[in-house]
Amino acid sequence: MKREQQGIVLVLVLWTLVLLMVIVSAVSSSAHTQSTLTHHQMDQTRFRALAEAAFHYGAARAFDPDADLAWKANGQPYSWRFGGREIVIKLQKEQDRLDLNQATAQQLDQLLLSIEVDDEIRDRLVGAILDWRDRDSLHRLNGAEDEDYRQAGKAYGAKDGSFTTLDEIGLVLGITSQIQQRLLPYLTLHASVGSDASNPYLLPGGFGDGSGTTIIKNGIRVLVEIIEKQGHYLAEAVVIRSNSRLRLVSVNYGVSPNRWPVFEED
């Protein structure tokens, strides 16, 4: 009987040890997960702080009253070291980008032509983009409505509403991933934000005839790449100058490098 009791005690002890090991393992795993999340949040906070500093610095250099010192807003990469990090900054004039929700058929056609899309394909894409964003189900001559999407095997139809993100352009019938990537650096959804109807800053020759499309006056798009050992962090913002102050109109963290304008040296 005594041996049986000793055996039971031994089993209980072993089960207790196993239970303790499970508890310790769970606590250790939870602590590790919490530590990883904390480090990730710290990295993201640091990244955003560095990006915002770069947004303001890049815009300040672009708006430098000394033309010889001012950075060019043509996609040229500039290096800046701040907070112990190497940062690459590219600038682009907001007037060089086309508002996807306001662009006319002519402007869309000229943009597609500039990225070398064939004539026949270009006509279909222009119609499909316009049918995607208009609020009716009327089929344009070269457009695409719900039935066209169904015939193409898509599980969705034309949105019949404004674009809410730039990446949404990839859902339009006929827009391939290659065309999407080539379009993204030249598109915006913020062209009319903050514009003054009494003093519009019209879209110049680059994309069409500038037929009344207003954009952010003096807007500069700042693209930032923070170079670190564990990877490169990219972000973008549109900065405007208002009453001699710089103001961030929109900020987007974690952008794709496809959004960056291509810089071609003369």
User: pLDDT tens digit string along 73-96?
Assistant: 888 899 999 988 899 999 988 777
Bridge-based pairing of strands 245-253 and 74-82 is unpaired
**Residues 75-93 as b or e (16 or more Cβ within 10 Å = b):** beebebeeeebebbbbbbb
Q: 197 or 259: which carries more pLDDT confidence?
A: 259
Q: Are 216 and 191 in contact, with CB atoms under 8 Å apart? A: yes
From 135, 157, 187, the end of a domain falls on 187
Q: 133 or 139: which carries more pLDDT confidence?
A: 133
Q: Taking the model in full, what pTM does it have?
A: 0.58
Q: Are 111 and 175 in contact, with CB atoms under 8 Å apart? A: no
Q: Confidence class of residue 262 from pLDDT cuts 50, 70 and 90? A: low
pLDDT of residue 36: 63
pLDDT of residue 3: 60
* Average pLDDT value for residue range 187-208: 43
Mean pLDDT across the chain: 78
Helices (H) and strands (E) in the chain, counts: 5, 7
From 120, 152, 187, the end of a domain falls on 187
Task: Assess whether pLDDT exceeds 60 at residue 191.
Answer: no
d(CA 79, CA 56): 14
| Co-location of 67 and 106 in the same domain | no
Q: Which residue has 């031994």 as its token pair?
A: 10
* Average pLDDT value for residue range 239-259: 76
Q: Confidence class of residue 192 from pLDDT cuts 50, 70 and 90? A: very low
Q: Confidence class of residue 203 from pLDDT cuts 50, 70 and 90? A: very low
| Co-location of 139 and 213 in the same domain | no
| Co-location of 71 and 200 in the same domain | yes
d(CA 216, CA 194): 6
Task: Assess whether pLDDT exceeds 80 at residue 132.
Answer: yes
d(CA 145, CA 157): 6
Residues 6+ away with beta carbon under 8 Å from 178: none
| Co-location of 120 and 89 in the same domain | no
CA-based nearest residue to 248, from 239, 257, 256: 239
d(CA 195, CA 187): 17
Q: How many CB atoms lie within 10 A of CB 208?
A: 19
Q: Which of 129-133, 189-193, 195-199, 253-257 has the lowest mean pLDDT?
A: 195-199
pLDDT of residue 169: 92
Q: Confidence class of residue 210 from pLDDT cuts 50, 70 and 90? A: very low
pLDDT of residue 15: 79
pLDDT in tens, 36-72: 666 667 777 888 889 999 999 999 999 888 888 999 9
Residues 6+ away with beta carbon under 8 Å from 95: 201, 203, 204, 206, 215, 219
d(CA 246, CA 62): 11
Residue span of the structural domain in which 232 resides = 50-97+191-266
Q: Give the pair of three-digit tokens for residue 244.
A: 């001699």
From 143, 167, 187, the end of a domain falls on 187
Q: Confidence class of residue 35 from pLDDT cuts 50, 70 and 90? A: low
Q: Say how many domains are in the chain.
A: 2
Residue 182 falls within a domain, yes or no?
yes
| Co-location of 146 and 105 in the same domain | yes
pLDDT of residue 196: 35
Residues 6+ away with beta carbon under 8 Å from 115: 179, 182, 183, 186
d(CA 20, CA 22): 5
Cα Rg, the chain, nearest whole Å: 27
| Co-location of 264 and 253 in the same domain | yes
What CATH number is given to the structural domain containing 169?
1.10.40.60
Bridge-based pairing of strands 85-93 and 74-82 is antiparallel
Q: Are 54 and 87 in contact, with CB atoms under 8 Å apart? A: yes
Residue 31 falls within a domain, yes or no?
no
Please give the C-alpha separations between residue 248 and each of 44, 77, 96, in angstroms, as whole numbers. Answer: 19, 20, 18
